[in-house]
């Protein structure tokens, strides 16, 4: 969740660190800091935004070609200048930045205190740097060896970068459970939590594996594992353009990403679907296609928006492929003793590919013999590396904390999987298969048309922006859309919102409905259409304010609802990809009108890489 950036080379490090920290702001944070080496170690850190750190350093010495930077999302200890990173050792000569949680920090802190160490912060990270120095002092070893030995004593997740005043041309970095990428330049190296701070300098990167230790010393990079055995780094080319992580003229990243969905869904479909040729191919399914066709059940794991995408997939897999599906919160699944049989298929969904709970749930399922299929957006992330097979969504970088294009891309990939398996299994016929291929190919144009509702949505947003609560209701395939719409509203506008199956309204939520309560219905024409009309009538009878997302040309609901948003017709299994668009825009405009920080909502982080 925190953001790490570091540099060693021939350039001035501070501007690179500062720009890198700004690139990482989307991950969510409450404080920022840098440490710079130039003969001596200088550490600057500040509670608040990167801009506030920058303003405090206007008159400070910032020269040096080696440096580390960090944005912190508080876990141990409240947001403050003291708790911000980097943290320094007892002597003040070693500085460390850390993403993750050290679970046994309390015991380590107690032991180090007994040895004469004093701590300034409340963080677990400060304990880590004190431990490294204590080992270095006792073992009379190099910084790299001290880090390696420290790793054998700490329990938890981490990505760290360490600098030492006594080794001025050296950086040491390692990871376990938290991402860390190394950018390889000409006689220079860039380290970061993800590729966004690196792409403007180099497109060659190394994704560090768990418990690998990277040492950059005197311009040379070496990587060893925790047993100190050298490993050969694999250099990959980044498939990312600098423009993709810029706002491109939009006021916010979230709005840009909402409008990117025609292209992102097109890219997700590209090369995989051809209605003309009558084929649907997901290359990542080849090796285990037979396993998935014959699966007795599928377990889908995800968190937040990815869990909602999994709920849509549950409906599609069961209807088309006739395979029982269970959708689990990864954060709950990993702490149960779930019943998993050898040969069960587990689909793990994560935009970042680094979600800590999902990674832990994958390892649990693998240990019980399940076949794991990953659906991720970020190439080179952890989940694609630990799953048996998988598919990238090709949505492109998503900077806004509130996920938008990731959801539609995930549902698109999962829908393709379900249809492909169903066709190979024989649970759908050729005619229906080809109809679905046409439906897939029409999705980008239909999303584009849904985006044309923006002006109308702005008017509705103005009417309901001051509400304290909101309900989102849907049936069947549209129930997960209701959940996703409610999540978006509460994430970025801080309005309390709940999503429910429309039929459950009478089992409690109806008690909340009055003239001040906006109720958003996803009421497209599908197999539940007549039932949802009855639910709308029940809300109107209690003076609720109804906003309805309906199929283009719907006349009946128009006479009942206060506001109607018409979206293009589509097969009901794919309607969530279209119907969610107005809800994303509605949440966005309400949040802007309420003066909220849309791209960096309070307390949230883009990638939840710690428990």
State the alpha helices, DSSP H only, in 193-323: 253-259, 261-269, 289-293, 305-316
Distance between CA atoms of residues 151 and 444, nearest Å: 48
State the DSSP code for 2: -
The number of helices, as runs of H, and strands, as runs of E, in the chain is 18, 26
Q: How many CB atoms lie within 10 A of CB 166?
A: 11
Judging by DSSP bridges, how do beta strands 545-551 and 518-522 pair with one another? parallel
Residue 73: half-sphere exposure toward Cβ, Cα within 13 Å? 25
CA distances 192 to 45, 244, 481, 521, Å, are: 18, 18, 34, 42
Tokens coding 188? 């220079």
Distance between CA atoms of residues 389 and 517, nearest Å: 45
Task: Give me the phi and psi of 124, to 5 degrees please.
Answer: -75, -30
Distance between CA atoms of residues 261 and 256, nearest Å: 9
State the DSSP code for 86: P
Can you state the percent helix, strand and coil of the chain, rounding each to 5?
Answer: 40, 25, 35
Beta bridge partners of 373: 347, 389
**Which helix or strand (DSSP H or E) is residue 111 part of?**
helix 105-114
Distance between CA atoms of residues 365 and 339, nearest Å: 9
Residue 402: which of 313, 462, 485, 279 has the closest Cα? Answer: 485
Distance between CA atoms of residues 435 and 428, nearest Å: 11
- Active-site residues, by number, are 2, 606
Distance between CA atoms of residues 265 and 286, nearest Å: 22
Q: Are the CB atoms for 577 and 443 separated by under 8 Å?
A: yes
Is the bond preceding residue 86 a cis peptide, omega within 30 degrees?
yes
Please tell me whether residue 593 adopts helix, strand or coil conformation: helix
Q: Are the CB atoms for 4 and 191 separated by under 8 Å?
A: yes
CA distances 342 to 80, 131, 366, 372, 550, Å, are: 48, 42, 9, 11, 43
All residues at 6 or more sequence positions from 511 whose CB lies less than 8 Å from its CB, including other chains: none
**Which helix or strand (DSSP H or E) is residue 392 part of?**
strand 389-392
For the chain, the first-to-last Cα distance in angstroms comes to 10
Please tell me whether residue 114 adopts helix, strand or coil conformation: helix
Please tell me whether residue 95 adopts helix, strand or coil conformation: strand
Distance between CA atoms of residues 233 and 215, nearest Å: 12
Q: Are the CB atoms for 345 and 299 separated by under 8 Å?
A: yes
């Amino acid at each position: 969740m925190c953001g790490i950036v570091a540099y060693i080379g021939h350039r001035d490090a501070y501007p690179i660190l500062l720009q890198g920290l700004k690139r990482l702001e989307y991950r969510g944070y409450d404080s920022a800091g840098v440490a710079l080496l130039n003969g001596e170690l200088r550490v600057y850190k500040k509670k608040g935004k990167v801009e506030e750190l920058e303003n405090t350093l206007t008159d400070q010495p910032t020269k040096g070609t080696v440096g580390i930077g960090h944005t912190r999302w508080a876990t141990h200890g409240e947001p403050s200048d003291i708790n911000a990173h980097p943290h320094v050792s007892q002597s003040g000569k070693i500085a460390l930045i850390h993403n993750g949680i050290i679970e046994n920090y309390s015991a380590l802190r107690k032991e180090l205190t007994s040895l004469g160490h004093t701590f300034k912060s409340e963080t677990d990270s400060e304990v880590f740097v004190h431990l490294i120095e204590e080992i270095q002092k006792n073992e009379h070893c190099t910084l790299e060896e001290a880090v390696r030995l420290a790793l054998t004593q700490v329990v938890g997740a981490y990505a760290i970068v360490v600098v030492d005043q006594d080794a001025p041309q050296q950086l040491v970095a390692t990871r376990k459970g938290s991402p860390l990428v190394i950018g390889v330049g000409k006689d220079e190296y860039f380290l970061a939590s993800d590729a966004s701070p690196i792409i403007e300098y180099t497109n060659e990167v190394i994704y560090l594996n768990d418990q690998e230790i990277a040492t950059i010393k005197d311009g040379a990079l070496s990587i060893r594992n925790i047993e100190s055995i050298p490993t050969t780094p694999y250099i990959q080319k980044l498939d990312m353009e600098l423009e993709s992580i810029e706002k491109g003229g939009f006021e916010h990243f979230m709005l840009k990403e909402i409008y990117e969905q025609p292209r992102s869904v097109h890219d997700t479909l590209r090369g995989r679907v051809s209605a003309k040729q009558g084929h649907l191919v997901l290359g990542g399914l080849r090796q285990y296609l037979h396993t998935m066709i014959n699966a007795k059940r599928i377990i889908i794991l995800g968190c937040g928006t990815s869990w909602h995408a999994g709920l849509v997939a549950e409906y599609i897999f069961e209807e088309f492929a006739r395979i029982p599906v269970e959708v689990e919160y990864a954060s709950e699944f990993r702490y149960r003793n779930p019943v998993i049989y050898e040969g069960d298929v587990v689909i793990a969904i994560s935009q970042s590919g680094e979600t800590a709970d999902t990674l832990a749930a994958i390892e649990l399922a693998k240990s019980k013999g399940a076949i794991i299929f990953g659906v991720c957006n970020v190439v080179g992330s952890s989940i694609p590396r630990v799953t048996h097979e998988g598919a990238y969504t090709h949505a492109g970088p998503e900077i806004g904390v509130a996920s938008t294009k990731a959801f539609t891309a995930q549902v698109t990939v999962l829908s393709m999987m379900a249809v492909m398996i169903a066709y190979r299994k024989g649970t759908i016929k050729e005619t229906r298969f080809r109809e679905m291929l046409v439906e897939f190919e029409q999705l980008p144009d239909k999303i584009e048309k849904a985006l044309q509702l923006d002006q109308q949505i702005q008017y509705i947003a103005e009417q309901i922006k001051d509400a304290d609560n909101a309900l989102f209701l849907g049936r069947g395939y549209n129930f997960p859309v209701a959940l996703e719409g409610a999540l978006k509203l509460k994430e970025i506008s801080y309005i309390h919102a709940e999503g429910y199956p429309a039929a459950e309204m009478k089992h409690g939520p109806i008690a909340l409905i009055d003239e001040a309560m906006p109720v958003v219905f996803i009421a497209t024409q599908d197999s539940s259409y007549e039932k949802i009309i009855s639910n709308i009538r029940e809300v109107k009878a209690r003076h609720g304010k109804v906003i309805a997302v309906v199929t283009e040309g719907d006349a009946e609901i128009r006479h009942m609802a206060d506001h109607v948003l018409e979206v293009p017709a589509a097969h009901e299994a794919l309607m969530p990809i279209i119907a969610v668009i107005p809800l994303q825009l509605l949440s966005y405009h309400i949040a802007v009108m309420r003066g909220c920080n849309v791209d960096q909502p309070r307390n949230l982080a883009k990638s939840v890489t710690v428990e």
